[in-house]
Amino acid sequence: MKTITAGLAALLLSTAASFAADAWKEAEVNGTKIYTDANGMTLYTYDKDEKGKTNCYDKCATNWPPLKAEAGAKADDEWSVVDRTDGTKMWAYDGKPVYTFIKDKKAGDVNGDGVGEVWHIVKAD
C-alpha cells in the first residue's frame, strides 16, 4: 500500500509541475524576449493590480482574460498562483497577475502593450 501511495504522490507532483510548464513559454517579438501563454499569445500585467491580487474582473476580464491556473498548480520560480474572487486561480509573474488581450488575434501580436498606459508586456529576463 505504501508503494501505491508513494507512486500516486509522485504522479500528482509531476502533474502539477507539468501544469506550470505548459501554462506559459518564452518567445521573441520584435527582438524582445517576452512571455506568452501556451498558444503563443502575449502576456500582460495591469498596473492597477497589487502583488498577489488581481483587480481585473467583469468587463476588464472579458477584454483581458486571466491566464488561468489549473487546480493544484504550484509556484515555479518567478511564477506564482493568485486566487480570484470567483474561486478560480490565475498565474502571476513576479507577483503580478498576467493576462492575454482580446484584440491580439495571433501569436506575436502585442496590441495590448501600453493600452490606457496601464497594460504592459511581460518581458522575460
Helix H, strand E, coil C: the string for 80-112 is EEEECCCCCEEEEECCEECECCCCCCCCCCCCC
Span 78-96, average pLDDT:
96
Q: How confident is the model at residue 123 (pLDDT cuts 50, 70, 90)?
A: very high
Residue 117's SS3 state is helix
User: 27-64 b/e with 16+ CB inside 10 Å = b?
Assistant: bebeeeebbbbeeebbbbbbeebeeeebebeeeeeebb
Judged against a pLDDT cut of 90, whether residue 89 lies above it is answered with yes
Q: Quick one: which H or E segment has residue 4?
A: helix 2-23
Instruction: Say if residue 10's pLDDT is above 50.
Output: no
pLDDT of 60-78, one tens digit each? 999 999 999 998 899 988 9
Cα torsion through 81, 82, 87, 88, rounded to 10: -50
How many C-beta atoms lie closer than 10 Å to residue 66's C-beta? 22
Q: Report residue 113 as a C-alpha cell.
A: 502593450
Question: Cα–Cα distances in Å, from 5 out to 13, 51, 111, 114?
Answer: 12, 36, 48, 49
Q: For residues 124 and 83, what is the distance between their CA atoms, to the nearest angstrom?
A: 23
pLDDT band at 22 (very low <50, low <70, confident <90, very high): confident
